[in-house]
Structures are given as structure tokens and as C-alpha cells.
Chain A
Amino acid sequence: MGGYGDVQMIDENGVRADGRGPGDIRPITIETGVVPVADGSCRMTWGTNEAIVAVYGPMEAHPRKIQRQDRAVLDVAYNMAPFSTTDRMRPGFNRRSREVSKVTQDALESVVLLELYPRSKIRVSIEIVSAEAGTRCVGLTAASVALADAGIPMTDLVVSVASGKINDVVVCDLNKEEDNYGEADLPMGIMPNSGELVFLQMDGDLSQDEFKQAWKYNMDAAQEIHKLMVEALNGGDSQ
């Protein structure tokens, strides 16, 4: 994290540059069935982030060497479209997208009941078509909705949200400027029904008290976002 203290992003009353309070998240919309040819899909907008996730499978796992006799394999790919960022993103994998794909896969493997589909493959394609900040959280959250939309059994959905620190104040759900100039970032992947975690990263500088506050903000936001996910899956916004 940069930690440029001279960029003022929150005032003395705790109002952030975009008008939010410290614990407020950006506006979120969730829609299912947005990739008609997929088995399950989800479009999630979160601030000016937009992720489109398609799930295919369970289907035949090939080549055969990737098959597992006792469970399905999950194939998760996170990618940013070339027009998703201010400066054009060159197409293709890079180290960042590989890491995000891996931790997202690790998170989803923790909730999907893979043992129900031995020798098969479930493919999860996460495409970020517009990036602001927190795209890995949007991608993971949307992926769990798309898996549910595909009817893949899971122990719980996953809500992913990040809190961080700007101008020495702990705030929830960093926007682009806050992410660029903030002092810390703590993204978590939460199972909303149990409060357990399947994904955790952090970078920056947080005291023990700040860390506890950021953790709490994420837990509270997860409950709020979970309601929107359930609503979308119950046909609220779905097509």
C-alpha cells in the first residue's frame, strides 16, 4: 500500500470523498442468467466494478490426467478484459490474475461439494469487464452466485468484501482512490451462514485494534451483501 498521507479522503466527521460513512459499502446489483449458453451465470456490479461469471459443468474432465477419482476438479480463471482499466490491459494471463485465480479457486473448493461429482470438471470463468477496486471480491462473490445459479451443491455461498485504512481511519469497501492512496487493505471471503472464512489476504499496516475494526466491518457488510445474493437467486433481479 502506498500510504500517501497527504491525499485527504475522509473528513473530520467521518464522511468519505464519495459521501459514504466509514462502514458503508458501494451500491451493488446482482443478476443471474446473464450468459444464456452457460449452466449458471451472474453479473455483479459493485460501485463501477462489473464482473460477469459463467459456470459450465459438471462436465467431462479432459485431458484424463486432470481427473480425480474421488471428486470433481474446479477450474477457476479470473481475467480482466482489455477495456476494464483506465490504461488498456494487455490480454492474457499475468502473475496477478494467476494469483487471484488460485486464491479464488481455493476459496470456492472449500464450499463446493466436489465429492458428489467424481472424475468431472466444473469450470468457473470470472471476467472483470470494468474494474474500480476490489475486483477479486466482486469476482469471488459473483462466482458463488453463478455456482448456485448452476445448481451446484455448496455448503454456503461466499461473500467477499474488503476493508482498509485511509488517512488513519478504518473504512469498509475501498473505492479506487482509497485503494490507490490508502494504507491497508484486508479482503476476506466469508461464509455468511456460519461466519467462517474461506479466503483471506491483507497488505499494508494495521494496528491490532484497527485490524479488529476492519474485520468487523467485513463481517457486517457480508450479511448485507448476502441478502442481495439470496434475493437475486430467488428471482429478484434474475431474468
Chain B
Amino acid sequence: MLKFYVGKFLQYFLVIVLMLTLNFLLPRLMPGNPLVFLAGEDVGFMTSEEKNEILDKHGLNDSIPQQYISYIKNIVTGDFGYSYQQKRSIADLLKERMPWTLLLAGLGLVISTIIGVMFGALSAWRRGSSTDANLLTMFMFLSAMPSFWIGMILVSIFSAQLGLFPVFGAESGWSNLTGMDRFFDILRHLVLPLTTLVLISVTNTFMIMRYSMLNVLGEDYIMMAKAKGVRDRVIKYKHAMRNALLPVATVFMLSLGFMLGGATVIETVFAYPGVGRLMFESVVSRDYPLIQATFLIITFSVVIANLLADILYPFIDPKVGGQREK
């Protein structure tokens, strides 16, 4: 068991090292002026003094290994560099934007899992029925829709046409709301992006839950429970769901990667001030250091989520938990 954890840990460590290295190499290997990649396209307007300062800061005059070491050192100490376009330290920008993304992706993860699990279990329970067929078709269509397009349609209908929800942002910036008012304001801004995120991610959970539940329902112990005279409801929730949830639990945390990726696109549609939107802004303005930093922070979050999933899993599966005790 310990070996398993060491292996996993090494794997995640490797992911991070590889991604850091990729990030280090990209601006240095791409054809063109590395200055552009390190400081954004504004370098054209810089004086040679400013350019030299940047070259010095990134140690571009040093040897590559030296540059690499100082690059890693900076990242480890939380220094993600400076956005010459936003004229701010990138770490500050990330700190400001991260909570919004975590709010959106976290809530999205929880809600889509609950909905997916419920419908997946229902579908499997009524396998072969028209309910099952309809749910399957509906969820398959949902997963075929581009996420940003769902968002745009929702905005068109509910914000632009019906005026029910705000069009963009995470809160009404200039109103200086406080307390509960602010809470509800944030909630109103959250509804559409959250709905979109749930709609695009729920199919995954639904499919896994349905498949897993179908497998479980075919198991002998379900027939045994029935033979014991256990009522259907109890079989469904106590015997079947509990087992069928195990595979869902393994993908729960892993979906966070998908969520954060999805958030990138959805935040863009709703101009939601999260890390994803920040990535889009930096792509549009070709602010390369910022693109890299947002990518890194998303990757870090995903790796941490993966690690958490591995650590928590034994607590829900007695089979694995037991082996760990031994």
C-alpha cells in the first residue's frame, strides 16, 4: 500500500516537474524573440534599458541550467513573475482570481455529481425502460454541445431577452453591497455560469454511475438481498448505491481537471473574473508569462485534487481500507 502511495506521489511530482520544464522551455525554444514570450508583445514599446532589466531579471544572459534553477526557485517561492501588460505581479493576480474559479468549479463539481448520480442510478434501476432511454438520449445530446455555446444561449435567453440574470461578472462592482445583499448578488451572478458548467459535466458522472449501477445490480449480492426479503428501496440505496458510488468517487476529484478546463471557456463567456478568464485575457493580449502562470496554477490544483482523491479513497472502500491497515 505504501508502495502505491510512493508511486502515485512520484507520478504527480513528475507531472509538475515536466510541466514546469515545458513552461521553462517554451519561451526559450520558440522561434522569435524570447523577450516577447517573457514580457508580452509590449516589448516593442520598451526602451533598451527596460529590455535589459527584463533580460537580467530572467537571467537570460546566464547559462541555461542556471536559468532553470533560478526559474524553479522563483516558482517554489511563489514568484510567478510580472505581467508587463497588467502592470502587476502575477501572483497577486492569481490570488485575486483563484477564489472565483474555486467557487465556480467546486460548486459545479458537487452539483453535477449529485445530479449525475441520481439520474444515473434511476436510469440503471429502470434499465430498458423508456425513462432509461430518454435520460440516455438527453445526456448524450448534452455532452455533444459545446460548453461555451450553452453559456451563450443561456445568456441570450435568460439575461438578454428575459432580463432575469446579470449578463457578466461575478458581482455588481460599483454597488458596494455588503452582508446578505452581497451574498445574493454573487449568487445571482453565479447562476448561469454554474448551470452551464453543471450541464456540460453532468453527463460524465451520469454515464459512470449508470454503468457502475448496472454492474452492481447484476451482482449476486443484490439478488441475495432480494431473496432475503429486503425492500426494493433499501436494496437501491443501501446495497446497490453504496457499491455503485465507488467508481464515481474515484472520478469525483479527477473531474476537477475537466471542471477547471471547462471553467476556462465558461468564464470567458460570462466574463467571470476567475483564473480561466484570466487565461483567456492573457491569450488575447499574448501576455505569455501570464498564460504560463495560469496554466501552472490550474495544473497544480488538478494534481492536488488527484492526490487528495488517492488519499481519501481508502476511507470509502472497505476493501482498500482493510488492506491499508494490514
Do A and B come from the same complex? no
